[in-house]
Amino acid sequence: MLTSGAFEERRTSEGRILGLRIIFGACFAALAVSFWLLQVVQNAKYEEEASNNLLRTIPLRAPRGVLFDRDNKVLVENRYSFTIAVLREQTKHLDQSLKRVAQITGADEARIRDIVQRRQREPPFRPLPIIEHATFAQVAAVTARHLEMPEIVVQQVPTRSYPAGGLAAHLFGYVGEVQDAQLDSPEFSQLEAGTIIGQAGIERVYNSHLMGTDGNKFIVVNSVGREIEELKKQDPIDGHRMQLTIDYDLQKALEDGFKANGYAGAGVMLDPRTGEILAMTSQPEYDPNDFANGIERTKWNSLTNDPLKPLQDRLIQGRYSPGSTFKILMATAALSEGLITPDYRVNCPGSITLYGHVFHCDKKQGHGSLDLRHAIEQSCDVYFYRLGSMMSIDTIHAYAEKMGLVGKTGIDLPSEVSSLVPSSEWKLRTTGERWYPGETISVAIGQGQVSVTPIALSTMIATVANGGTVVTPHLVKAVDSGSGWQSLAAPAPRSVFPIRPDVLQAVRDGLWLAVNGAGTAGRARVDGHPVAGKTGTAQVVSAAAAKAAGHGAVHLRDNAWFVFYAPADNPTIAGVVFAEHAGWGATAAVPIAHHVLETYFAKLDKRPLPTVTMGADGVIKTVMAQPAAAAPGLPASQPVPPTPGNPAPVPAGRPASQ
């Protein structure tokens, strides 16, 4: 009983139901196409993005190579230290996280913020170290709250560990994060920001050996960063071990000598036959451990603002007037040129007038008549003024060059400065004026325009000691790049200058007399082992100016020098001690060298090593050990008891005996 109206209506509604079918059908078709586009056409792109979500690379820091001394004593090693780091991508509220970490660890919140701020540009999934060398309590506090704060992680990082007290600080240098500017250089272009590299000293020069290759751990994480599984691990490869030419005992003796006095300055002992450096120091020192994981700003500021400039390596970066030690070169030059014979005598009345100017001897009443040997022994200025008047500055310059006093020695440390002995060409080039012969006179006693580094002076005395070879001072004996120790060939000498035997003998006689005769260096004598040497006392300003400033002005006091070698007849050790503003070479520099030489020979004779103490007369004294007494302790080899805050050292490989 369908009416036409009802029929009409039914037709309409059937049409509309069909409309709904079409609408839904179209929607589902569109959905199917969309999913096909996403899942099949663009699959690769989204698959990669899904992987990015859950794959993480955790860098594993490679321990740097261990440094040994020439007796295979460990000098620099690595310790594991705990670092508390923040994974910024794991938190939406970084501020709160940092605040909370500071709260539970008792760390300085402002400092943590500062660190995070500074390294803001690094990828957010890389852990940012916020507390280094964390204590056990801090580690425990963070670990206990891991669920609550998954963004805070504890890492174990091998950290450089240097001998206590800044021993040989300038030699080792320090490590630090690679600087932005360094990343642009070809040497470091492969590295990522935050990598630890050597920034000074041996650490810097041999960085490619010492650094090792960091490893990686590839892991799967969930959305809160929890590690679900480890996919792959590339173990870090340790840096190469290196054996230095340094002798720990001599190094310690040298530094003890300086520290007993409290002098600033520099000293070096080397083997004149090879150029191997046995000990070297620059005083005052800094503690390289402070740099091992990023230095604090306040500490850095105090180092850079210190008037004594502890960061400067005086041995290779300081230039000073060599004073009377320069007379060795003058004597060698005058004899080699045939201007005088060793028997050439000069009468010293206490002063000499040359080019219309009066030059004073150090000894006001004069030395009387002297030959060359005794002029060296007594350090008579008048004798060498006379020699200066007989030679052109260019001759002096030529001999300075032959004996290693011009330019750089080529030591394997960064930022060595050039030593300077003037020449007429040099003066014309730098000042536009010609050289006046009168200027040569002060050069003749190592004053005036002469300015040399202590390390250069050490190659000069080594040249006298070995008979004419300008050795290249160097610090590394052997390297172990994983396949056993490989000896490193000593670098070729800078030059060879065959000193005539008669010349050499005369100069050496003078140097022997200076120590063993009535000379200025008597304090250097060692029983049973003849020492030869020459002191120097170099004015920092003219005597008149020093007087005007008053005696209290420490920075105007004379610099004390002592250059030496031993045994006098067949030298195996040569060296330089430079004591800044310390006064007389004889009382300031010689006793330090003496202590090292006593130590050297005690070790050679297998006697217990001596110690050093301040004497009643204000000059340090070497105290010979009783044969029964034990040798002084060695901080580097003393086992440090492993405590939570100070974990056990990374086992260092023992070098094979050579």
Partner 1 sequence: MVDRRLLPHLDFPLMAALLALTLIGVSTIYSVTFDLRANQPGTEFWTQVYALPVAFAAMLACLMIDYRSLAQRSLFLYVALVALLLYVTFFGAVRGGARRWIPLAGFSLQPSEFARLTIALVLAMYYGDERRSARSARELITSAIFVGIPFWLIAHQPDLGTAATLAPVFLGVAYLAGLRLKWIGTAAVVLVLLSPVIWRYGLKDYQKERIATFVDPSKDPRGAGYQQIQAKITVGSGGFYGKGFRQGTQGGYGFLPVAHNDFVFSVLAEEHGFLGVLLSLGLYLFIILRSLDAARLARDRVGAYLVVAIISGFGFQVVYNITMSAGLAPVKGLTLPLMSYGGSSLVATLAGFGLILNVRMRRFTN
Residues forming beta bridges with residue 320, ordered by sequence position: 452
- Residues with Cβ < 8 Å from 61, sequence gap 6 or more? 157, 158, 196, 214, 236
Minimum distance, C-beta of residue 8 to partner 1, in the bound complex (Å): 11
CB-CB contact of 83 with 157 (8 Å): yes
Minimum distance, C-beta of residue 150 to partner 1, in the bound complex (Å): 12
Q: Which is nearer to partner 1, 25 or 615 (CB)?
A: 25
Q: Which is nearer to partner 1, 28 or 355 (CB)?
A: 28
CB-CB contact of 201 with 173 (8 Å): yes
Q: Which is nearer to partner 1, 6 or 554 (CB)?
A: 6
Minimum distance, C-beta of residue 45 to partner 1, in the bound complex (Å): 7
Minimum distance, C-beta of residue 96 to partner 1, in the bound complex (Å): 15
Minimum distance, C-beta of residue 221 to partner 1, in the bound complex (Å): 8
Distance between CA atoms of 548 and 542, rounded to whole angstroms? 10
Q: Which is nearer to partner 1, 16 or 233 (CB)?
A: 16
> By three-state DSSP, how is residue 74 classified?
strand
Of 73, 315, 305, 310, the closest CA to residue 171 belongs to 315
Distance between CA atoms of 469 and 98, rounded to whole angstroms? 61
Minimum distance, C-beta of residue 125 to partner 1, in the bound complex (Å): 13
Residue owning tokens 């004294």: 621
Q: Which is nearer to partner 1, 40 or 616 (CB)?
A: 40
Question: 3-state SS of 461-472?
Answer: HHHHHHCCEECC
Q: Which is nearer to partner 1, 93 or 297 (CB)?
A: 93
Minimum distance, C-beta of residue 78 to partner 1, in the bound complex (Å): 36
Minimum distance, C-beta of residue 95 to partner 1, in the bound complex (Å): 15
Q: Which is nearer to partner 1, 51 or 213 (CB)?
A: 51
Q: Which is nearer to partner 1, 224 or 492 (CB)?
A: 224
Question: 3-state SS of 85-132?
Answer: EECHHHCCCHHHHHHHHHHHHCCCHHHHHHHHHHCCCCCCCCCEEEEC
CB atoms within 10 A of CB 82: 22
Minimum distance, C-beta of residue 88 to partner 1, in the bound complex (Å): 11
* CA of residue 334 relative to chain centroid, distance: 38
Minimum distance, C-beta of residue 35 to partner 1, in the bound complex (Å): 5
> By three-state DSSP, how is residue 363 classified?
coil
Task: Give the ranges where 379-500 is alpha helix by DSSP (H).
Answer: 381-390, 393-402, 424-431, 437-443, 454-466
Of 494, 310, 317, the closest CA to residue 417 belongs to 317
Q: Which is nearer to partner 1, 16 or 555 (CB)?
A: 16
Minimum distance, C-beta of residue 49 to partner 1, in the bound complex (Å): 5
Minimum distance, C-beta of residue 412 to partner 1, in the bound complex (Å): 50
Minimum distance, C-beta of residue 122 to partner 1, in the bound complex (Å): 17
Q: Which is nearer to partner 1, 18 or 518 (CB)?
A: 18
**Phi and psi torsions of 171, nearest 5°:** -70, -50
Q: Positive or negative, the Cα torsion across 270, 276, 278, 280?
A: positive
Minimum distance, C-beta of residue 31 to partner 1, in the bound complex (Å): 6
Of 116, 104, 203, the closest CA to residue 146 belongs to 104
- Residues with Cβ < 8 Å from 593, sequence gap 6 or more? 257, 267, 524, 533, 562, 564, 575, 577
Residue owning tokens 């004598």: 525
**Phi and psi torsions of 222, nearest 5°:** -95, -170
Residue owning tokens 């996403």: 38
Minimum distance, C-beta of residue 127 to partner 1, in the bound complex (Å): 18
DSSP string, 478-542: EEESSSSEEEPPPPPPSEE----HHHHHHHHHHHHHHHHSSSTTGGG-BTTB--EEEEEEE-SS-
Q: Which is nearer to partner 1, 121 or 364 (CB)?
A: 121
Structure tokens at 476: 């590394």
Burial of 606 (0-12, 13-18, 19+ CB in 10 A): exposed
Task: Give the ranges where 307-354 is alpha helix by DSSP (H).
Answer: 314-317, 327-336
Minimum distance, C-beta of residue 115 to partner 1, in the bound complex (Å): 22
Distances (CA, A) of 334 to 19, 55, 455, 563: 119, 76, 24, 20
Q: Which is nearer to partner 1, 103 or 222 (CB)?
A: 222
Minimum distance, C-beta of residue 65 to partner 1, in the bound complex (Å): 40
> By three-state DSSP, how is residue 233 classified?
strand
Q: Which is nearer to partner 1, 225 or 491 (CB)?
A: 225
Residue type at 215? Answer: G
Of 446, 440, 445, 449, the closest CA to residue 354 belongs to 440
Q: Which is nearer to partner 1, 54 or 137 (CB)?
A: 54
Q: Which is nearer to partner 1, 48 or 502 (CB)?
A: 48
Residues that bind partner 1 (CB under 8 A): 12-14, 16-17, 19-21, 24-25, 27-28, 31-32, 34-36, 38-40, 42-43, 45-47, 49-50, 53-54, 92, 220-224, 228
Q: Which is nearer to partner 1, 49 or 180 (CB)?
A: 49
Residues forming beta bridges with residue 559, ordered by sequence position: 538
- Residues with Cβ < 8 Å from 10, sequence gap 6 or more? 2
Q: Which is nearer to partner 1, 8 or 192 (CB)?
A: 8
